């Protein structure tokens, strides 16, 4: 089936027919009805492309029948979209509308944006052909709204916020160096150059501290000790020295390697801290930490951050090309990434985790050697194996020596002195660790707040909205409440005519007015480009909502927006639905109905049947 679908996408219809027909026969013989639905969908698309519309429609209808029998909502959506498209080809616009509306309803219930886009796109064509231009425009606008949400820029803005710390440090370094270069011209060259060296070293230490703090903040989310990144950096530097790197290069690698997983800052806790196996979708999202990490570290002239960016991007690539994010193979993988990959995997193997016991050093080294040529660079493995074995042998000798020294008998005075010194050191180290832990805790909380806050309006964002709505709506039986959807009218026109700065000003004014209007009545959110929402503390009557919206309109008038620039809709829990997804869908539908009514009232058009 996969080969048939590939050939179909490549335009090789004849070869595709052979493989898809064979797949259909096999799935029919073994009663693999789910696979049969997919094959029928591919055959329908193939025959539609060949202009054999009746045959295509028959196959799509057969797929729909099977989907209804097995309860496959995904198969039903795809089949109805195909039937709607084929009915439109046959000019049966009523049948096309019926199938596409049913497909859209299912896609909304399942919250699948891709299928909603297809349904809206086909419905816009149906209504355009039937002369119902208002409905065609409505579906075209909904299509654009969903597409905007798919490519929402909130994540990029959050990532940019994470880079502020680096940008400030880089700006300070540039300013300091510029000032010092000016001083060189006024003072004795030798003394000034010495000062430049000292200040540059000071700035480098400050930058290293920023790197360490960011590494701890990232590591703190799934390893409260932060020791993993330190060990990986130490091992990577040792391997580099064994390869003949200079001490300076190896030291830079040791620091840069600590940031290999900094992109995990942007991965949701539900995925990052999950104890069981990740689903394919969750694993795909987890893989994004490599790309996010490289973005956070990009754009620097610092050798340290440039190397850290390279490592963050490439340390999950594999020698045989089966890694991620880009599937690089062999020498195409940067050497820094190949070194850190070995150090990272080795340390992960020998440490205990909630889902596994720690491996012995011998077991871990054997696994590294067995993966040579597949996961790891075989030449690097030969060098790294000795380095890692010696590194941990040195650690063991140190611990044994410490134990032996502790076992030697001491005179009473000596023992008291050693004990006092040890207690003092222990207190200082404990205090340092506690301060570091608190700083990491504060950093994690700041990162969490950033992940749940819209950077433009400072309202809680869509992720926070979905979490809060799920919490309020589950388990069924919680106190009733109202969800309000609000869409800003005319934002695109303002962006196109007055510029995006004016559009941002409008969004900021709407956010402030919404917060003021529902103060004490609920929590406001910005959930998309021009979309806002409120989760009310309890059920709001229509009269209550009207009063709050009048307060909001008054605030906007005072901000220079005399015409009420928004449309609204509401849904009540549990009266309208007990599902979080359905509550948002119902409130959205009512909001778009309000938008159409307001547009018709402004243009003086007669209201359609059922809208009066």
Q: Are 238 and 391 in contact (CB under 8 A)?
A: yes
List phi, psi (to 5°) of 331. Answer: -70, -10
* Domains 2-151 and 155-402 belong to one CATH topology: no
SS3 273: coil
On the question of pLDDT at 433 being above 60, the answer is no
> Roughly what angle, to the nearest 10 degrees, separates helices 227-242 and 378-407?
120
- Round the average pLDDT of the chain to a whole number and report it: 78
Nearest-angstrom CA–CA distance, 337 and 309: 10
Of all residues in the chain, the percent with pLDDT exceeding 70 is: 69
Q: Which residues pair with 526 in a beta bridge?
A: 532
Predicted confidence band of residue 345 (pLDDT cuts 50, 70, 90): very high
Check residue 437 and give its pLDDT: 54
Residues 4-30, mean pLDDT to the nearest whole number: 59
Q: Are 196 and 485 in contact (CB under 8 A)?
A: no
Q: Are 342 and 381 in contact (CB under 8 A)?
A: yes
Q: Is 244 left (phi over 0), alpha (psi -120 to 50) or beta?
A: left
Q: Which residues contact 463 (CB under 8 A, 6 or more apart)?
A: 268, 451, 452
Check residue 477 and give its pLDDT: 56
Q: What is the pLDDT of residues 183-202, one digit of tens each?
A: 555 554 555 556 656 655 55
On the question of pLDDT at 415 being above 50, the answer is no
Domain ranges of the chain: 2-151, 155-402, 409-443, 462-603
Which one is the CATH code of 2-151: 3.30.1330.100, 1.25.40.10, 1.20.1370.10, 3.30.200.20? 1.25.40.10
Residues 129-137, mean pLDDT to the nearest whole number: 88
Element (H, E) at 487: strand 481-488
Nearest-angstrom CA–CA distance, 371 and 524: 52
432 alpha-carbon distance from chain centroid: 33
Residues 425-448, mean pLDDT to the nearest whole number: 57
List phi, psi (to 5°) of 572. Answer: -105, 135
Q: Specify the DSSP class assigned to residue 571.
A: E
Predicted confidence band of residue 211 (pLDDT cuts 50, 70, 90): low
On the question of pLDDT at 158 being above 90, the answer is no
- Classify domain 155-402 at the CATH class level: mainly alpha
Choose between 242 and 11: higher pLDDT.
242
Q: What is the pTM of this model?
A: 0.37
Predicted confidence band of residue 397 (pLDDT cuts 50, 70, 90): very low
Q: Are 262 and 312 in contact (CB under 8 A)?
A: yes
Predicted confidence band of residue 63 (pLDDT cuts 50, 70, 90): confident
Tell me if the domain spanning 462-603 has CATH number 1.10.8.60: no
Q: Are 24 and 44 in contact (CB under 8 A)?
A: no
Q: What is the pLDDT of residues 354-393, one digit of tens each?
A: 667 889 989 999 999 999 999 999 999 999 999 998 876 6
Report the C-alpha dihedral over residues 227, 231, 237, 243, rounded to 10 degrees.
Answer: -160
Going edge to edge, which strands form the sheet with 531-536? Answer: 522-526, 531-536, 481-488, 566-573
Q: What is the pLDDT of residues 282-299, one digit of tens each?
A: 888 889 889 888 887 776
Name the burial class of residue 222, with classes exposed (0-12), middle (13-18) and buried (19+) by CB atoms within 10 angstroms of its CB: middle
Q: What is the pLDDT of residues 200-210, one digit of tens each?
A: 555 555 555 55
Q: Are 294 and 312 in contact (CB under 8 A)?
A: yes
Tokens of 243: 């390869």
Nearest-angstrom CA–CA distance, 378 and 320: 11
Choose between 74 and 337: higher pLDDT.
337
Check residue 421 and give its pLDDT: 39
Nearest-angstrom CA–CA distance, 486 and 599: 15
Check residue 540 and give its pLDDT: 92
């Amino acid at each position: 089936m996969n080969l048939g679908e590939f050939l179909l996408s490549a335009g090789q219809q004849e070869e595709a027919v052979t493989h898809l027909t064979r797949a259909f026969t096999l799935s029919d013989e073994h009663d693999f009805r789910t696979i049969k639905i997919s094959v029928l969908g591919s055959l329908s698309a193939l025959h539609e492309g060949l202009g054999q519309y009746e045959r295509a429609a028959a196959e799509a209808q057969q797929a729909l029948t099977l989907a209804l029998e097995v309860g496959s909502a995904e198969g039903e959506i795809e089949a109805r979209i195909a039937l709607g498209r084929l009915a439109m080809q046959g000019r049966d616009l009523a049948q096309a509308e019926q199938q596409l509306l049913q497909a859209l309803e299912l896609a909304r219930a399942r919250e699948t944006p891709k299928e909603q886009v297809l349904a809206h796109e086909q419905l816009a064509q149906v209504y355009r052909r039937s002369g119902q231009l208002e409905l065609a425009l409505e579906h075209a606008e909904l299509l654009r709204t969903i597409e905007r949400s798919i490519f929402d820029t909130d994540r990029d803005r959050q990532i940019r916020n994470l880079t502020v710390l680096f940008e400030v440090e880089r700006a300070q370094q540039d300013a300091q160096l510029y000032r010092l270069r000016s001083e060189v011209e006024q003072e004795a060259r030798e003394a000034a150059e010495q000062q430049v060296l000292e200040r540059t070293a000071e700035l480098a230490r400050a930058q290293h501290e920023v790197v360490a703090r960011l590494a701890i903040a990232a590591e703190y989310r799934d390893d409260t000790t932060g020791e993993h990144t330190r060990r990986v950096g130490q091992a990577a530097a040792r391997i580099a020295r064994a390869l003949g790197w200079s001490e300076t290069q190896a030291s830079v690698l040791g620091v840069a390697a600590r940031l290999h997983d900094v992109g995990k800052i942007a991965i949701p806790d539900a995925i990052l801290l999950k104890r069981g196996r990740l689903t394919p979708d969750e694993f795909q999202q987890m893989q994004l930490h490599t790309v996010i990490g490289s973005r956070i570290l990009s754009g620097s002239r610092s050798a340290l951050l440039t190397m850290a960016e390279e490592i963050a991007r490439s340390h999950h690539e594999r020698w045989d090309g089966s890694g991620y994010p880009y599937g690089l193979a062999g020498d195409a993988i940067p050497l820094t990434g190949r070194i850190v990959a070995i150090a990272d995997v080795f340390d992960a193997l020998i440490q205990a985790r909630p889902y596994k016991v720690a491996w012995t050093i011998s077991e871990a080294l054997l696994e590294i050697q067995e993966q040579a040529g597949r996961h790891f660079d075989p030449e690097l493995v030969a060098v790294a194996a000795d380095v890692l074995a010696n590194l941990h042998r040195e650690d063991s000798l140190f611990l044994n020596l410490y134990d032996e020294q502790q076992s030697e008998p001491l005179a009473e005075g000596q023992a008291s002195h050693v004990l006092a010194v040890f207690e003092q050191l222990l207190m200082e180290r404990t205090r340092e660790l506690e301060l570091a832990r608190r700083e990491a805790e504060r950093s994690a909380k700041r990162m969490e707040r950033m992940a749940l806050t819209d950077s433009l309006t400072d309202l809680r964002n869509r992720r926070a909205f979905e979490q809060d709505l799920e919490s309020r709506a589950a388990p069924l039986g919680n106190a009733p409440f109202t969800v309000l959807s609000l869409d800003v009218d005319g934002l695109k026109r303002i962006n196109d005519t007055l510029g995006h700065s004016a559009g941002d000003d409008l969004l900021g004014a709407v956010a402030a007015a919404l917060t003021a209007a529902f103060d004490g009545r609920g929590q406001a959110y910005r959930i998309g480009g021009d979309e806002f929402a409120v989760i009310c503390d309890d059920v709001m009557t229509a009269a209550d909502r009207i009063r709050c919206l009048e307060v909001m309109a008054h605030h906007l008038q005072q901000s220079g927006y005399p015409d009420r620039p928004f449309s609204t809709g509401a849904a009540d829990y549990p009266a309208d639905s007990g599902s979080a997804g359905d509550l948002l869908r119902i409130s959205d539908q009512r909001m778009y109905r309000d938008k159409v009514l307001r547009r018709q009232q402004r243009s003086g058009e007669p209201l359609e049947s059922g809208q009066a």
